[in-house]
Structure 1
Amino acid sequence: MNASAGSESVSDVDIESDEEPFDLSRPFTRKQALAAGITPNRLRGPGFVRLHTGVFVAADVELTPLIRAEAALTTYADTAFASHATAARISGLPLPALPGEHVTVMAQKDRHRIGGVVCHCALKAEVRTVAGVRVSLIEQNFVELATLLTLVDLVVVGDHLVRKNPNGLGRLQRHCAQATGPGAAAARQALAYVRTGVDSPMETRLRMLIVLAGLPEPLVNQLVGEESELDFRKYDLCWPAIKLIVEYDGRQHVERQEQWESDIDRREKIDDDGWRILVFIAKDIYTTPGNTLDRIHRQLVARRLPDVPTHLSPQWQLHFPGRP
């Protein structure tokens, strides 16, 4: 092909080979490009993006998690698959920023180093296929993530998984119970904290802050209200026995006027019923978690919830260090 292609995008151009048109919209190696007639100079030009050493794709291709996974797998054996953070990104799981891609091979002889790719080895694996790309099964991926994530971040992932598929909790429990090797123990520990019906990662974090401090665990998204009036309202976390509610208020609540007005209305109604509601925002969890716990602890004691410890467990400080 020459420069006369005009405005036609690179990924739309067929380059003839001995077999079939060369697909530039999928990651390919330098060797494959040269065999298809792409010159080294053109490969270094603006029409292509180098994803890894010797692995390229057309510059107009959106670099989705699936494309990045396929690029990472390009130079590995056909039995290799996307795993760990790479598989989680394909599944849309809520992760902190984790650099690089992860692949797993089934034999030590298939391992090799590529910049930006972490290569693992497993003797056995459960794999699914997503758009032609081999990816860790969801339950296996949860155990893999246990080698990368903190306890709280892993519980965030678990809560997300069972919210998307409540029936999947049993499969996750069975898989973790049988798992061995790296991540297995940490996965089982995190799974013990996973709850169904959690609406957001920040709700998980707030609940974990409370539980790791040794306070009685609140109910998740419990319906609160008078049955006679058929006026039930759902709140993030609560202790019904003492009429105490804890809610996380995300930024989107402030940005949407109608949501903000609705929240004010329902909070006024709940106050009228004798409930107390404590509202927290991101800084209360990330910056001043100690103050947050003090507020909750005082209310639990004042309202005489049974089994509330006099002093908080210091365990929470390992996971929520806060900032000055």
Structure 2
Amino acid sequence: MGSEAVAAGLVTRHELRTRFVPVYRNVYVAMGRTLTAADRAGAAWLWSRRQAIVAGTSAAAWHGSLWIDDRLPAELIQPSQHKTKGIVLHSEQLDDDEVVCLRGLRVTSPARTAYDLGRRAGLTLAVVRLDALMRATSVTADDVRVLAERHGGARGIVQLRRSLALADAGAESPQETRTRLLLTRAGLPPEHTQIDVSDRDGHHVARVDMGWKTWKVGVEYDGTQHWSDPRQRARDIDRQAELEALGWHIVRVSAGILRDRPATIAARVWHALRAAGAPIPAPNLNF
């Protein structure tokens, strides 16, 4: 906080003006620093004079969730404060077990954070955020369901229950979550995520994003590095050959196919499962 730093003699007013930039009123950051979502959460908490409770996406970032857009406004529960640009204020009643102290800040607990994020409009985004929060913390769907029962009449509770049924802490990226949801909508929900595959001597060969161990069919989302980095591409080719030698069929998914041809992904997975002997009906390809 600028006033505190000046009063403590840590910076002069001139240095504050020339070497730092304001994030919010009386809250400064060193010039040239790019703020993360967690940084914005801390800055907003300082703006509240250390009185607010960090909530929503800011709480998720503070708990260590990845893939929170750094450009999103900070979120606080502080109904008595005046609004300010870049901060969203919520008026919520929280029970004692719905708030934790984490690295000096009061933050909604992982379960309460998941409860809030899972109720927001947009089922896919809600599941993406729940996957990330579950991966970053030890919170489980059952922990969140306790709060859903406690606040049964809350807005968005129906979507929350759907989100929890679809969430999986095994997702290592938003695109993996979207791929899993696509398959689930098609009637092909993967049995497992992050499947460890070993060879006949017990040596680890690969970890497959999602799939069916019973039928040795896996699905993997390949990010940009899998296509643009020659060394990564060479490793992928060797890895694919090793998996195929062990009887696995891997369906690979790219950003373009996921965005433009989701039905192609579902059809390829279904054909692979049928070829492996899985007794499953034709998928729903109406995307």
- Fold shared by both chains (TM-score > 0.5): yes
* 1:160 alignment partner, one of 117, 125, 132: 132
TM-score (norm 2): 0.78
Question: 2:72 aligns to what SS in structure 1?
Answer: coil
* 2:216 alignment partner, one of 220, 239, 243: 243
- 1:302 shift after superposition: 4.3
Q: What aligned pairs does 1:83-162 form with structure 2 within 5 A after superposition?
A: 83-95=55-67, 97=69, 99-105=72-78, 110-125=80-95, 126-148=98-120, 150-162=122-134
In structure 2, C-alpha distance between the alignment counterparts of 1:87 and 1:164, rounded to whole Å:
12
Question: 2:193 aligns to what SS in structure 1?
Answer: strand
1:46 aligns with 2:18: yes
Find the counterpart in structure 2 of residue 321 from structure 1: none
TM-score (norm 1): 0.71
- 8 A contact 2:110–2:139 mirrored in 1: no
Q: What letter matches 1:271 in structure 2?
A: E
Q: What aligned pairs does 1:59-74 form with structure 2 within 5 A after superposition?
A: 59-60=30-31, 62=33, 63-74=35-46
Q: What letter matches 2:28 in structure 1?
A: V
- 8 A contact 1:145–1:183 mirrored in 2: no
* 1:55 alignment partner, one of 14, 20, 26: 26
In structure 2, C-alpha distance between the alignment counterparts of 1:115 and 1:165, rounded to whole Å:
30
Question: 1:237 aligns to what SS in structure 2?
Answer: strand
- 1:154-204 per-position Cα deviation (integer Å, ceiling 9, x unaligned): 222333333344575553443444344244433322111223433333222
- 8 A contact 1:94–1:201 mirrored in 2: no
In structure 1, C-alpha distance between the alignment counterparts of 2:76 and 2:107, rounded to whole Å:
9
In structure 1, C-alpha distance between the alignment counterparts of 2:63 and 2:57, rounded to whole Å:
10
- 8 A contact 2:118–2:160 mirrored in 1: yes
* 2:273 alignment partner, one of 294, 300, 313: 300
Identity %: 25
Question: 1:229 aligns to what SS in structure 2?
Answer: coil
Find the counterpart in structure 2 of residue 7 from structure 1: none
Question: 1:242 aligns to what SS in structure 2?
Answer: coil
In structure 1, C-alpha distance between the alignment counterparts of 2:258 and 2:251, rounded to whole Å:
13
- 8 A contact 2:263–2:285 mirrored in 1: no
- 1:303 shift after superposition: 4.1
Q: What letter matches 2:284 in structure 1?
A: L
Judged with a 3 Å threshold, the aligned counterparts in structure 2 of structure 1 residues 130 and 311 are, in CA distance, closer, same or farther, namely closer
Q: Higher mean Cα deviation, 203-212 or 172-181?
A: 172-181
Find the counterpart in structure 2 of residue 32 from structure 1: none
- 8 A contact 1:166–1:196 mirrored in 2: no
In structure 1, C-alpha distance between the alignment counterparts of 2:195 and 2:174, rounded to whole Å:
17
Q: What aligned pairs does 1:216-235 form with structure 2 within 5 A after superposition?
A: 216-225=189-198, 228-233=200-205, 234-235=207-208
- Which stretches in structure 1 are left out of the alignment for 5+ residues? 1-10, 25-36, 318-324
Question: 2:162 aligns to what SS in structure 1?
Answer: helix
- 1:124 shift after superposition: 1.8
- 1:93-128 per-position Cα deviation (integer Å, ceiling 9, x unaligned): 2345363221112xx5x1532222211111224222
Question: 1:119 aligns to what SS in structure 2?
Answer: strand
- 8 A contact 2:37–2:72 mirrored in 1: no
- 8 A contact 2:123–2:163 mirrored in 1: yes
Q: Which has the larger radius of gyration?
A: 1
- Which stretches in structure 2 are left out of the alignment for 5+ residues? none
* 2:6 alignment partner, one of 15, 18, 39: 15
Judged with a 3 Å threshold, the aligned counterparts in structure 2 of structure 1 residues 250 and 74 are, in CA distance, closer, same or farther, namely closer
Q: Higher mean Cα deviation, 207-216 or 74-83?
A: 74-83
* 1:194 alignment partner, one of 167, 171, 178: 167
- 1:289 shift after superposition: 1.7
In structure 1, C-alpha distance between the alignment counterparts of 2:45 and 2:243, rounded to whole Å:
54
